[in-house]
Structure 1
């Protein structure tokens, strides 16, 4: 799928092993920002390129999972991953996680990735529900998810302890496809 973002071609496509280095870089960058990610940088064990490739291969080999990336000018700038639950009674559900390079946020790439993911889920014969968790302080992401039809189904109050005096709720959202 081709879209125009900031007068540049933005390609939304299925991820592949060759994307491992770029995806690892984006992931490490988002974690180092420390604002909306559970893992903090000092806890981060640097994932090797080999481990990143193994994770991508695991997703590519799973018929109920997908990896979708956004690239601008042949550079991967974001991704969204869907993983389903292996338990039979939860196998109709799955959760997503999305990461976008900080320099490309606010341009609509998240919406393009989410639209592509939901399109994939809607045509998948086994997937009925897409779920996610988001920091209650991440208003931009919450607005995006709401605009795409996601509904808050719960909240884990003070789920994340940012520092001695600051906590953040985990907002649980879903969308039936």
Structure 2
């Protein structure tokens, strides 16, 4: 089976609705701490709102037979976006510049995992993120229970930074900018 990769324009991210909603359901199915927080998380509240509030967006889909089987969404956004009514995701005082890079949504459908698709999407995202010279801090946020994702990102150079919402989320920071901080709580 041939996998093709396509960059999606911001105005066309609607094509990711189904796979993004699958990501939210998958994360909830793995969560052992506060899975009910996923009840209000979906394409509209997570991906679409992020696309609208970010300065730059990068979405790539992986397709098998014209069906989307995986996607990644990354963004460049003001660091203040990550200190909101839901939570504070990292210590803003440790970020050198006004903007941060974030590998925000990443999902591969069951049956397509373990075939290298994740590495291709990850590499495309990191190459894009590193194309912004004013951005020096890169983050990924892993939901509790998703140990395979945590291990994947750590194998790719991300390291533990802090816990959010008593461990609902683990913040990982790209290794050249890791500065551990105390757990961050809800507002």
What is the TM-score normalised by the length of structure 2? 0.64
* 1:102 match: secondary structure: coil
* 1:32 match: secondary structure: helix
Identify unmatched segments of 5+ residues in structure 2: 81-95, 178-187
Work out which of the residue numbers 23, 29, 32 in structure 1 matches 2:22. Answer: 29
Aligned length: 156
Over 3 Å counting, the alpha-carbon distance change for 1:32 and 1:122 in structure 2 is closer
Conserved? CA contact 1:10–1:72, under 8 Å: yes
Give the structure 1 partner of residue 172 of structure 2: 173
Identify unmatched segments of 5+ residues in structure 1: 1-7, 161-169
Q: What is the rounded CA distance, in whole Å, between the counterparts of 2:79 and 2:50 in structure 1?
A: 21
Work out which of the residue numbers 153, 156, 177 in structure 2 matches 1:148. Answer: 156
Q: What is the rounded CA distance, in whole Å, between the counterparts of 1:30 and 1:111 in structure 2?
A: 17
Q: What is the rounded CA distance, in whole Å, between the counterparts of 1:171 and 1:139 in structure 2?
A: 10
Give the structure 2 partner of residue 165 of structure 1: none
Q: What is the rounded CA distance, in whole Å, between the counterparts of 2:41 and 2:171 in structure 1?
A: 27
Over 3 Å counting, the alpha-carbon distance change for 1:83 and 1:39 in structure 2 is farther
Work out which of the residue numbers 39, 42, 46 in structure 2 matches 1:43. Answer: 39
Task: Tell me whether 1:101 sits opposite 2:101 in the alignment.
Answer: no
Q: What is the rounded CA distance, in whole Å, between the counterparts of 1:104 and 1:139 in structure 2?
A: 18
Give the structure 2 partner of residue 166 of structure 1: none
Of structures 1 and 2, the one scoring higher in RCO (CA 8 A, sep 6+) is 2
Task: Tell me whether 1:91 sits opposite 2:98 in the alignment.
Answer: yes
Structure with bigger strand share is 1
Give the structure 1 partner of residue 8 of structure 2: 15
Conserved? CA contact 1:20–1:53, under 8 Å: no
RMSD: 3.5
